[in-house]
Chain A
Amino acid sequence: AQKITQTQPGMFVQEKEAVTLDCTYDTSDQSYGLFWYKQPSSGEMIFLIYQGSYDEQNATEGRYSLNFQKARKSANLVISASQLGDSAMYFCAMRDSGYSTLTFGKGTMLLVSP
């Protein structure tokens, strides 16, 4: 069965600093996709970034990048130059080839201070 673990319930960072949010996953499949979503206090779920298991390069989208370490089964989200608007819950999710749906971790609450 798929499993996503986010061990950091909360993280604090100062504006303009970089922060890494941890995500480890468990799957027996060789082919899978990893996703990160942001949920601000308003409640909507916003897609941030995707990494495929066969992608040779780490994914990047603007200030977001994914530190993908396949052997360690980790897919950490790195946010560079944090902004106040980055304060939100962040969820890591996975889909493997046997499923069309997503399995989510419990999330990490990020607070960015001025």
Chain B
Amino acid sequence: DSGVTQTPKHLITATGQRVTLRCSPRSGDLSVYWYQQSLDQGLQFLIQYYNGEERAKGNILERFSAQQFPDLHSELNLSSLELGDSALYFCASSGPGAVLTDTQYFGPGTRLTVL
């Protein structure tokens, strides 16, 4: 158990809908990262938050947004869902992320299926 929690574990929804994925980082970790894992794209970094502020942005679509709350939990919002958004979404957490040795610990993931 990495100490990172994600809910829900599975999510099935229809095209055009909006969903929210939730992540709680390990105790003491200030950085939260979101990744998308799909068969064709592999593991892709989406976005990072550090202590409530956006720190880095990767291949995140405009239909997707995220935030980190004062209690450090984070939510990833996916809207106008398309079939191609079906994937495993991971949240990871680490220390400040400014040190190379900061290891990212991953949550169990949320498997999103868009029908």
A residues adjacent to B (C-beta < 8 A): 31-33, 35, 37, 43-47, 50, 52-53, 91, 95-97, 99-104, 106-107
Contact = CB atoms under 8 A, between A and B. Distances in A.
Interface stretch (B15-23, B40-48, B67-75, B77-85): B40-48
A104 B90 contact: no
Contact of B111 (A37, A43, A46): A43
B108 interface: yes
A63 to B, nearest CB: 19
B97 interface: yes
A33 B103 CA distance: 9
B101 interface: yes
B101 A33 contact: yes
A35 B102 CA distance: 10
Given A100-B48, A102-B45, A43 B101 contact: no
Given A43-B88, A44-B109, A101-B56, A106 B42 contact: yes
Contacts of B88: 43
Contacts of A53: 100
Given A33-B100, A45-B92, A101-B58, 15 more contacts: A32-B100, A44-B108, A45-B109, A46-B2, A47-B103, A47-B105, A97-B100, A100-B31, A100-B55, A100-B56, A101-B56, A102-B33, A102-B45, A102-B104, A104-B43
